[in-house]
Amino acid sequence: MSVPLDPAIGPHADPVPARWERIGAHLGDVGGLSIRRAIPTAKRRMIGAWCFLDHAGPADLTPETAMRVGPHPHTGLQTFSWMIEGEVLHRDSLGSEQMLRPGQVNLMTAGRGISHTEESQSDRLQLAQLWIALPDAVRHREPAFQHFPELPSFATGGFETMLLVGEFGGQRSPVPSHTPLLGMDLSATRAAEATLPLHPDHEYGLMVLEGELSVTLDGESAGASKPGELLYLAPGAQSLKLLSGGGKSRALLLGGPPFGEPVLLFWNFVGRNREEMQAYAEEWNSREDGGRFGAVQGFDGPRLLAPVVPPLKTPR
């Protein structure tokens, strides 16, 4: 699930952060579905290897507002789809065809190049779509697709927790990663409280998807978090306390060590310089068979074409 990135975002060159920072999400549209984009933004481009986070819904869909994302390419990343409500059909140029349902993860590794489509199959939808930047050693690897129908589920304080990727509380997700990562979904239907230990060498991002949570970082209040914003936590923190005053609440917690490699994002590509982006865009736009990205079978609609590559600074 992808839309063109703002060229002003440019390469990954995040400033030295404060202890924590609250960042407003960018509002957009993907295939007819309204989304809130937490990263990348001008203020924060990555959290560990996480380089993209869209929250779509919750929304009631009609035939006119159903999500239909036509064939489009990716490079140098993994797409990570977490379904909360509804169903989405994934197709890709490897021949994969997989329905994604609540509580499941689709992981598509683009590597040197892949293309895919996404179509909603339900009248209500809520999901998180994330990208994971691949380190240089594996970013040109062969593409792959994996589906994970079951994930570890357990209580963290008063919150029901799904461990999407990484390790927490003695549990380990089956979803693989090429760099240390954490992804957790925490939800509650009534008042709840939990204190989560943090890795001091990692940075974190908390995005509330529903309700409102009061946040305390190492005993210091970080205020209230609500949908439409990202709470960024810089390395060095030891513990995170979450408090829901009642009603329905849900949040995503992402983490990982600072990536440590220059990353450039443009449209649906992750690379290292403008020359790579230009070559990717030209190959996709000029080849009906998709070139390195291949072709998706079974989607009854046009391909999405790459926009003109603007001037882009090579990351440092």
Tell me which residues of the chain have a pLDDT lower than 50.
3-4, 6-13
Half-sphere exposure of 82 (CA within 13 A, CB side): 22
80 lies in a domain?
yes
Per DSSP, 12 falls in state: -
Looking up residue 206, the CATH number of its domain turns out to be 2.60.120.10
Looking at residue 2, its pLDDT comes to 52
168 lies in a domain?
yes
Looking at residue 7, its pLDDT comes to 42
Half-sphere exposure of 291 (CA within 13 A, CB side): 15
279 lies in a domain?
no
307 lies in a domain?
no
Q: Residue 226: which domain range? A: 15-256
Residue 203, Cβ neighbours under 10 Å: how many? 25
Looking at residue 8, its pLDDT comes to 40
Looking at residue 17, its pLDDT comes to 57
What is the total count of domains within the chain? 1
Report percent pLDDT > 70 for the chain: 93
pLDDT digits (tens, 9 = 90+) for 33-60: 779 999 999 899 999 999 999 999 899 9
65 lies in a domain?
yes
CA distances (Å), 149 to each of 100, 153, 261, in order? 8, 12, 32
302 lies in a domain?
no
Residue labelled with tokens 């560990």 = 48
What is the 3-state composition of the chain as percent helix, strand, coil, each rounded to the nearest 5? Answer: 5, 50, 45
Q: Which residues neighbour 293 within 8 Å (Cβ) at sequence distance 6 or greater? A: 73, 74, 93, 113, 114, 115, 283, 284
Looking at residue 141, its pLDDT comes to 98
244 lies in a domain?
yes
299 lies in a domain?
no
